[in-house]
Amino acid sequence: MLQSVLNVIFTAIVLLAATTSAQTACNNSPLLCNRNYNNITHLGAHDSPFVRDASTNYSIAGDQFYDSITQLDAGVRLLTAQVHKVTNNFGGTEWELCHTLCQLLDAGPLSNWLVSIKAWLDRNPEAVITLLLVNSDNADAPTLDGLFSTAGIKPYVYTPPETTQATASWPTLSQLIANNTRLITFIASLDPTTNTVAPYLLNQYTFIFENNYDVVNPADFSCDANRPPSLIGNTAGALSSGYMPLINHFLYDNLSGIEFPSIENVMNTNAPSGSVGNLGDAAKNCTSIYGKAPTFIIVDFFNVGPALDTVDRLNGVRGHTEGRKALPTTVPQSMSASSTSVVSSSTTVVAPLATSSTSVAVPLATSSTSVAAPLATSSTPVVAPLATSSTAVGTPLATPARSVVPSLVIPSTSVVASPVALPTRSSAVVMTSPAAASTAQSSVVSSTSAVSAVMYTPGSNAASMAGVHAQSAFQWSLLATTVGLVRYALH
């Protein structure tokens, strides 16, 4: 009889403990609840809203395979994005999430993204998340505050007692959850001395230092402070002053001066162990140097590796997590298998169609080069303009919103007779010679923003650029010429 009573009591205790654990899991683990915000490693999705999937025609500019909400569902707790100023067709200003250039990849208005994050916070009352916004066009605090207000997300924001200097004193996750101040927002950059209207918008470099972000060689990942400039060479001083370390751990491929997120190496880059440049070893090295685990780790294609494995090890919660959405941990098959054929720089480069088994040749004004351009997601034929040696450039190729297909080719002997209007957030310009580049920079205009061509770069690898990846053929097929190509830096 006594044994039966004891068994009942024991079972009740186990059930109560399990229920309590489920109710007090903070950021997917009960072991994190009593840890201070700055004493946890938060996994971050680099360029979170910029995805490489069917919605963007598998844009080479995409840094993630899944959207921001899926990232959060799977355990990401830091989202980074770039904010750009765009003039709309009515002369008004919009603040968009764009990857380097809005003509390259536009993920829509910042306010819409914030609305989706607010809804996610509504559904997940035991989650604390961080936003890091790159303030590309220097939006001021009132402007950003207005967008946060419009999104209805301000009730969740956290404001530290001191906003003008780094601090080692941060609340625990339990305290942030209890107060429902579960959103920490950093801006790179925003002057804290002039921000009197929205102190919750924290200047990143007042609180955080980071290592180098522009890495093309796996052996070059470093733990040294690289930003802000005042802390270069003074990592120890940054740590002793209360700065939180942020580790950028993503790799770029580089072809003829064009840098883009590396898919070929991501299985190792995000892995908990392996070859040179893997995330696990890099995190261990930085932990040893800092005397503590990094507060933030930012990666591309976060689900691959998986990167969360390394973060869980750093947090000591491996095997003690719950509530995460399971995702594949490898590169999608559609990304790893190339269906693009590159014959030579003087023949034809064939790019696959998104919804068809055929292709449409788009003649370029070079002696023997032609390129098959993709139709993206359009269900009807799209004709690109001919750019002949003696005629003016016509109307650029119309492409869907968020498309990044370069749509206007200006050969070396073409003449831009009059300004050419570019469609809103959908076109790029390809300059195939220095002279054409110069002409276009002064003559080609857009009703919404500046011409997206950055610079002319001569090189014999132009044609091969179109066949780098199957998913990038949509973006780069029109760059295949024997003359040169535009240089982009997709950071």
Out of 42, 84, 99, 249, the active site residue is 99
The band of 258, judged by pLDDT with boundaries at 50, 70 and 90, is confident
Pick 464 or 118 by higher pLDDT: 118
Are both 326 and 442 inside the same structural domain? Answer: no
Are both 294 and 389 inside the same structural domain? Answer: no
The band of 252, judged by pLDDT with boundaries at 50, 70 and 90, is very high
CB 108 within 8 Å of CB 341: no
The yes-or-no verdict on residue 320 having pLDDT over 80 is: yes
SS3 helix, strand, coil % of the chain, rounded to 5? 30, 20, 50
5-19, 233-247, 330-344: least confidently modelled range: 5-19
Residue-wise pLDDT for 212-222, tens only, equals: 999 999 999 99
Residue 12 lies in a domain: no
pTM over the 0.75 mark = no
- Would you list the DSSP string of 273-340? SSSTT-HHHHHHHHHHHHTS--SEEEESSTTTTTHHHHHHHHHT-TT---SPPP---S--HHHHS---
Are both 155 and 217 inside the same structural domain? Answer: yes
Out of 42, 46, 249, 469, the active site residue is 46
The yes-or-no verdict on residue 464 having pLDDT over 80 is: no
Residue 481 lies in a domain: yes
Residue 18 lies in a domain: no
Strand partners, 349: 342, 371
Q: How many domains does the chain have?
A: 2
Q: If 0-12 CB within 10 Å is exposed, 13-18 middle and 19+ buried, where does residue 137 land?
A: middle
Are both 306 and 370 inside the same structural domain? Answer: no
Are both 46 and 195 inside the same structural domain? Answer: yes
Residue-wise pLDDT for 355-412, tens only, equals: 333 333 333 333 333 333 333 333 333 333 333 333 333 333 333 333 333 333 333 3
The band of 4, judged by pLDDT with boundaries at 50, 70 and 90, is low
Residue-wise pLDDT for 11-69, tens only, equals: 444 334 443 444 589 999 999 999 999 999 999 999 999 999 999 999 999 999 999 99
Residue 363 lies in a domain: yes
CB 86 within 8 Å of CB 449: yes
Residue 10 lies in a domain: no
66-80, 209-223, 224-238, 392-406: least confidently modelled range: 392-406
Residue 1's pLDDT is 52
233-242, 434-443, 482-491: least confidently modelled range: 482-491
Instruction: Tell me whether residue 46 is one of the annotated catalytic residues.
Output: yes
The residue segments making up the domain with residue 383 are 338-491
Q: Where among 314, 334, 354 does a domain terminate?
A: 334
Give the CA angle between residues 251, 255, 261 to the nearest 5°: 30
Are both 367 and 326 inside the same structural domain? Answer: no
Q: What is the CATH number of the domain that holds 251?
A: 3.20.20.190
Residue 8 lies in a domain: no
N-terminal to C-terminal alpha carbon distance within the chain: 70
Residue 166's pLDDT is 97
Pick 204 or 433 by higher pLDDT: 204
Radius of gyration of the chain (CA): 25
Are both 376 and 263 inside the same structural domain? Answer: no
Are both 322 and 377 inside the same structural domain? Answer: no
CB atoms near residue 136 (< 10 Å): 19
Q: Where among 334, 362, 397 does a domain terminate?
A: 334
Amino acid identity for residue 454 in this structure: V
Residue 334's pLDDT is 77
What are the Cα distances from residue 404, in Å, to 59, 113, 195, 213, 452? 7, 20, 35, 24, 11
Residue-wise pLDDT for 275-311, tens only, equals: 999 999 999 999 999 999 999 999 999 999 999 999 9
Instruction: Tell me whether residue 84 is one of the annotated catalytic residues.
Output: no
Residue 1 lies in a domain: no
The yes-or-no verdict on residue 490 having pLDDT over 60 is: no
Are both 211 and 168 inside the same structural domain? Answer: yes
CA distance 455 to 431: 8
The yes-or-no verdict on residue 242 having pLDDT over 80 is: yes
Residue 123 lies in a domain: yes
